[in-house]
Amino acid sequence: MSDPNPLPSWVDGPNKSAILDFVARVTNEDDPHFRPAAERIATFDNDGTLWCEFPNLVQVLFTLAEVKRLTSQRPELLNKPAYKAFLAGDLKTLASLPRQDVFETIFAVHAGMSVDDFEVTVAEWFSSARHPTLGRLVLNNAYQPQQDLLAYLRANEFKTFIVTGGGVEFVRVISQRLYAIPAEQVIGSSTKCHLNTIDGNLVLRKLPDLGSFDDRDEKVVNIGLHLGRRPIFAFGNSDGDLSMLRYTLQGDGARLGLLLHHDDAAREFAYDRDFKISPLSDGLEHADAYGIRVVSMKSDWRSVFSFASA
Amino acid sequence: MSDPNPLPSWVDGPNKSAILDFVARVTNEDDPHFRPAAERIATFDNDGTLWCEFPNLVQVLFTLAEVKRLTSQRPELLNKPAYKAFLAGDLKTLASLPRQDVFETIFAVHAGMSVDDFEVTVAEWFSSARHPTLGRLVLNNAYQPQQDLLAYLRANEFKTFIVTGGGVEFVRVISQRLYAIPAEQVIGSSTKCHLNTIDGNLVLRKLPDLGSFDDRDEKVVNIGLHLGRRPIFAFGNSDGDLSMLRYTLQGDGARLGLLLHHDDAAREFAYDRDFKISPLSDGLEHADAYGIRVVSMKSDWRSVFSFASA
């Protein structure tokens, strides 16, 4: 059963050991921290945790392309600073605006579109979308060590979930392909939707109103709504993930909470406190107090990007 | 692989054949209607579809007990007719009120309680709660033919979900035990929740406000939010399930939608149009037009109740 070389893309060291030890304990029936498979719930943030989010969120890049296409249909959106920045293609301003302002704009852009059409639009965009500075397809920006970790957890009968600030329908388009996580195991931000009946045909459409901004405390609220269980493992990379990590760690028995620190300017990017849309500040300061392990991209990861996915 | 005697509690006939034929087609790689396992999503209503809902919903019985216990804490609720009826133990009035009025009261009763405490409260109640006329434990009121059907679908690599008007946290307490459906595969009505931090301790609490009343069109909206895919199989028993059934049937390829008709006064109950809290009227009238198969409890089921669960 057990893989002779688990997590090959992780460097041997305290963080890799902590993961291996945790999984060994919760899967060993003779260990007091054993958990039946049904309770082995692992939640992962997406942006900056499973794939590259710097210098702009992938969904910002998508929205940028879409705003140009859809401008004429929704002129009222032009009043918002984030929308103006989208329209001007002003990536620097977008990276400096508060997270919720940017997300609200992102979610409003596709109001009126059916969820089926939205899925097709997103899939088409991904087929050719490239990272603004790395040049390669954004589909090539998923992290190999996380793909290995997800596979390792699943091999040990964990059920893996994404809990993302990104739009739930957006992330579902690539979750199976990049992470082998099915659509129904993605929890995310969402617009409200409405079921229209036109000539007897039922069409589910996106509304302009935000349903849930799945960030900070709301990640825990949505874990309650969608899972109804406390995870025993959680992985994030920003202060927006701290509530999820702390909630995970405060349950009984063995728990593991990890924060990825982007400290690798050579292979990816080095950023934390000053990245407005996804800052890591409280997390670095209080990780010890919260019992969270900080993972260094530079020291803990043997490789960074997966190129097998695109 | 294939079971020599699938669905033993179903009577041989057109409905059983329709189920067997549908499953045979979508699981046969040589059939044009073949579906990969990931797309084999089956959704079931709960009340009246998976267990007995007559003459009162199980959650009404639970709320009746809880209202007595919690009255002193929330006197403002006494203004609502449904709440007065709960307090008086007036099951007849409760069965005659509009569905949403009853549910709103049900969901408001536990405002302020943590979701963890709520789960314990529900589990304790189920350990001794009995059906008001059948006398036996409500846990003995799940339908054997549906347990067989759920198991048969899963044996054919379907993923089975509950999509219920009942409270999501309420149904999750018994979903694994009665239907082998894990908590995270239950979609239901919900109150809003809030994450409180008290002395560094994160507690998820129920608020009095309704988050979602998972009935009629809202079932489809929640399927979009939670699953992000259109089911290929759906089973309900009331007009509240028609949108889910029609949405399921309007997708491409082979689909199956079923409505259980409670026409068995001898073994369970006979009711449809006049049961206010869960009427079946439009469904009976338009089933053919919608392509929905009506299942007769009396004629299609060899047995009704499962007694193995309690």
Please name which of B192, B211, B219, B206 lies closest in space to residue B46, comparing C-alpha atoms. Answer: B219
Mean pLDDT of chain A: 93
Q: Which domains can be identified in chain B, with CATH numbers? A: 14-54+138-300 (3.40.50.1000), 58-126 (no CATH)
Contact A21/A33 with Cβ under 8 angstroms? no
Contact (CB, 8 A) for B83 and B106: no
pLDDT band at B310 (very low <50, low <70, confident <90, very high): very low
Mean pLDDT of the region B78-87: 78
The residue-averaged pLDDT of A122-129 equals 97
Strands B201-212, B41-44: pairing kind: unpaired
Global confidence as pTM: 0.95
The answer to whether B247 contacts A194, with C-beta atoms less than 8 Å apart, is no
Q: How far apart are CA B71 and CA A190, in angstroms?
A: 36
- CA–CA distance, B7 with B5 (Å, rounded to integer): 7
Q: How far is B293 from chain A (nearest CA, A)?
A: 18
pLDDT at residue B74, rounded to an integer: 66
Q: What is the mean pLDDT of residues B37-62?
A: 96
Interface contact flag, B184 A221, Cβ < 8 Å: no
User: Which pLDDT band, with edges at 50, 70 and 90, does B3 fall under?
Assistant: confident
Q: Which residues of B touch A202 (CB under 8 A)?
A: 220, 243, 246-247, 250
Question: Quick one: B42 exposed, middle or buried, by C-beta within 10 A (0-12, 13-18, 19+)?
Answer: buried
Q: Which of A107, A179, A221 to mutate to test the interface with B (most CBs of B within 10 A)?
A: A221
**How many whole angstroms separate alpha carbon B202 and alpha carbon A31?**
27
Q: Which pair of tokens denotes residue B214?
A: 């998972």
Q: Which residues of A touch B186 (CB under 8 A)?
A: 228
- Nearest 10 degrees: Cα torsion B262, B263, B269, B271: 70
- With beta carbons less than 8 A apart as the criterion, state whether A262 and A297 touch: yes
Cβ B224–A204 below 8 Å, yes or no?
Answer: yes
pLDDT at B136 > cutoff 50: yes
Say whether pLDDT at B100 is over 80: no
Chain A residue closest in CA terms to B115: A224
Query: What is the value of ipTM here, to two decimals?
Result: 0.95
Q: Report pLDDT digits (tens) over A221-279.
A: 999 999 999 999 999 999 999 999 999 999 999 999 999 999 999 999 999 999 988 99
Interface of B with A (CB under 8 A): 38, 41, 115, 159, 161, 168-169, 172, 176, 182-184, 186, 190, 193-195, 201-202, 204, 211, 217, 220-221, 224-229, 243, 246-247, 250
Quickly state the pLDDT bin for B107 (edges 50, 70, 90). confident
> Which token pair is B182?
């894990």
More confident residue, B64 or B183: B183
CA distance, residue B215 to nearest chain A CA (Å) = 12
